[in-house]
Amino acid sequence: MPETTPLRVADLAQNSTTAFDIRPATATLRDLAEQLGLPGLRKLRFVGIIAAQGARDWHLTAKLGATVTQACVATLEPVTTRIDTNVTRTYLAAWSEPTDEEVEMAGDDTIEPLGIHIDPNAVMIEALTLALPLYPRKEGANIGQAVFTEPGQTPMTDEDARPFSGLADLRNALNKEE
């Protein structure tokens, strides 16, 4: 499915930037949509640069744009969303994997270990996946109230789950008695 081949770090110019502009073909968009479980994907573009950062590290800066179609979480109708987001990755040559059993997560999730290649296509797919709305909802869609229970039992409603909802009525009744 790659639209571009990974770039060998040894071939990147240390004193200038390397530009890339990925616009996948229609067949690739279909394959990627299927891989991500999307009913539709179009107008995908990933454009940016890779530049040296210091003597051995590299920095990728890019803009991701895509139009995706997902199923509404309430009605399952198609919902179309435009995604436009900035993407950055910093590739560190001095990266070392933690060896402790318990590891504290670093605050910067854009840092990656530097390998022999930098793959803008893989970064594009990862960035698209992370930018997808988790709960797409068609405008005005409402699931209403769902009530489930075992046969022969009285179903518990949302109102029943609010333990203090009747306190206001109780307070008002007590105030009337006084």
The pTM (predicted TM-score) of the whole model is 0.74
- pLDDT tens digits, 15-63: 999 999 999 999 999 999 999 999 999 999 999 999 999 889 999 999 9
Whole-number Å distance between alpha carbons of 155 and 173: 27
Select from 94, 98, 18 the least CA-distant residue to 62.
18
Q: For residue range 100-153, what is the model confidence (pLDDT) as tens digits?
A: 666 565 667 788 888 899 999 999 999 999 999 998 888 877 666 666 677 888
Parse the chain into domains and list their residue ranges.
7-131
